[in-house]
Amino acid sequence: METEIKTIFFDLGDTLVCISHITLAKICKKIGGVRKYPLSIEDYKSAYSNEWKNRSSLSALDAVRRTKANSDESERNYWESFFESLLTSLNISPCQSELTDWLINTYMDPSSFVCFNDVHSILSELRSKGWILGIISNAFPSADRMLDHLELRQYFKYIFLSFELPYAKPETRIYQFAAQKANLPIE
C-alpha cells in the first residue's frame, strides 16, 4: 500500500533551535573563570553532549525524571542534577551553586536560544506548499516558551512535548500518540 506523505514531524533541539553562539561564549567564559583556566566552546559542547548521552543510556529512571519535569520547579531540579554532573566532568566542584544556578537560568531562558539560519524560510516554504508540520520533542516547560519567543509556533499544527505527555522519545508510544492525534496511519 502506497501512502502519500502529507505531514512532517520535527524535533526541536538541535534540529530547529540551538543555544546561541553568544550564550555559549558567555558560558565558557563563566566556567573558565571559576576553574581558573579557559574552556573552549568545543570542549564545553563535548562535555554537554556526553552528559546527555550518559543520561540517555543510564536508565529508565532518568527518562522518567525528564518526563516528570512538567513544571518550572521540576525542570530546575533536573537541570541542577545535570549541571552538577557536567561541572564535575569539567573539574569543577559540585558545590558551585552560584554557577549551577546561573547555568539553570540560562538554559531555562528562551532568549538563550536561536533558530538555525534557514528554519523560518524552510518552514514557511513547506507550509506554503501544503505540508502539515508538527513537532515531537523531549522537552521541558521552558521549550514551550521558546516556541513563542522564537516565533515558531505559527508553523506547526501539532506540537507534542514530552513534559505534557506520559512518555518520551524513543518510546514507541509517543510516535503512536502523535500519529493518532494527527489522524495518520500507523504502519
> What local confidence, expressed as pLDDT, does residue 60 receive?
46
> What local confidence, expressed as pLDDT, does residue 124 receive?
98
Would you place residue 3 in the very low, low, confident or very high pLDDT band (cuts 50, 70, 90)?
low
pLDDT at 2 over 80: no
Separation of alpha carbons 184 and 132, rounded Å: 11
pLDDT, mean of residues 19-39 = 96
Percent of the chain beyond pLDDT 70? 91
pLDDT, tens digit, for every residue of 105-132? Answer: 999 999 999 999 999 999 999 999 999 9
Here the cell at position 78 is 533536573
Residue keyed to cell 540517555: 56
Q: Which residue has the higher pLDDT, 148 or 58?
A: 148
185 with 175: CB under 8 angstroms?
no
The separation between the first and the last C-alpha atoms of the chain, rounded to the nearest angstrom, is: 10
Q: Which residue has the higher pLDDT, 124 or 169?
A: 124
Here the cell at position 125 is 516554504
> What local confidence, expressed as pLDDT, does residue 39 receive?
96
pLDDT, mean of residues 140-159 = 97
> What local confidence, expressed as pLDDT, does residue 152 receive?
98
pLDDT at 103 over 60: yes
DSSP type of residue 112: G
pLDDT, tens digit, for every residue of 35-78? Answer: 899 999 999 999 999 998 887 764 544 555 555 678 999 999 98
| Residues facing 158 on adjacent strands | 134
Of 40-49, 91-100, 133-142, 173-182, the one with minimum mean pLDDT is 91-100
Number of residues written out for the chain: 187
pTM of the model as a whole: 0.89
DSSP type of residue 71: S
Backbone CA torsion sign across 95, 98, 104, 107:
negative
Bond from prior residue into 94 cis (ω within 30 degrees of 0): no
pLDDT, mean of residues 2-12 = 86
